[in-house]
Amino acid sequence: MGIVTSKDVIGRNRDLLIEKVMTKKPMTVMKETSLAYAAHMMVWEGIEIMPVVDHHHQLEGLISRQDVLKALQNIQKQPQVGETIDDIVSNYFDRSPTDPNHSKYQAEITPQMTNQLGTLSYGGVFVSFVIEAARRLLRNQKKGDLVVENMTVYFIKPVQLETTISVQPKIIDVGRKTAKVDVEVYHERKIVGKALLMAQLIDR
């Protein structure tokens, strides 16, 4: 089995045989494969089209990366009534079991948190992770709640669907009414995001 896309034939000699440009033994999925897994593989491997086969490896159809990601957005990405991005982040945000100091948190990237490319959305979701981590750290140290005044994102890398990340906030400076918190996000001990947050403190 092989597969040919427009990228394989554009600019090639018209007399060239298909077998010379096709991708042999392409990665495949079955009808029972989850959308999340298909999206992860296609984004991670840079695959645009993937054959769907049966248990005998006979072709049953094709799926494109656009098909999979659109289906994820339409079916799984719709939050429940009244549920915000902050709610979703908070629900999947847990203190690391190996951290007794409440300064390290972890979360799994779900379809609700991804963009059209199947990676973590840095527009809203990443910001929500940063704020939630800072808020929990300050609350744990009896500093009250916070209202964000300013945030600067220094460093970001793509984070794939179904990845588990570690979010590590650190207080840089704190006074009676203001706080400055540095937040670093890691995947497999490699930094993928970093932000500096400045906020006003509110007693609750």
Q: Report domain extents, the chain.
A: 2-76, 85-202
Q: Is there a contact between 171 and 103 (Cβ–Cβ < 8 Å)?
A: no
CATH numeric code, 2-76: 3.10.580.10
Token reading at 107: 């979360």
Task: Give the helix, strand, coil percentages of the chain, each rounded to 5.
Answer: 25, 35, 35
Give the C-alpha separation, 42 to 47, whole Å: 5
Structure confidence by residue, pLDDT tens digits, 97-156: 555 665 788 888 887 787 767 778 777 788 888 988 998 888 888 777 888 888 998 878
Count of other CB atoms within 10 angstroms of residue 187: 18
Angle at 188 between CA 183 and CA 192, to 5 degrees: 40
- pLDDT band per the 50, 70, 90 thresholds, residue 23: confident
- For the segment 82-109, the average pLDDT, to the nearest whole number, is 73
Could you tell me what percent of the chain has a pLDDT over 90? 14
Category of 118 on φ-ψ map: left (φ > 0), alpha (ψ -120 to 50) or beta: left
- pLDDT band per the 50, 70, 90 thresholds, residue 78: low
Token reading at 89: 């982040």
Structure confidence by residue, pLDDT tens digits, 150-195: 899 887 888 887 788 999 999 999 888 889 999 999 998 899 999 9
The pTM assigned to this predicted structure is 0.60
Of 16 and 77, the one with more pLDDT:
16
Pick the CATH number of 85-202 from 3.10.129.10, 3.40.50.2020, 1.10.3210.10, 3.20.20.80: 3.10.129.10
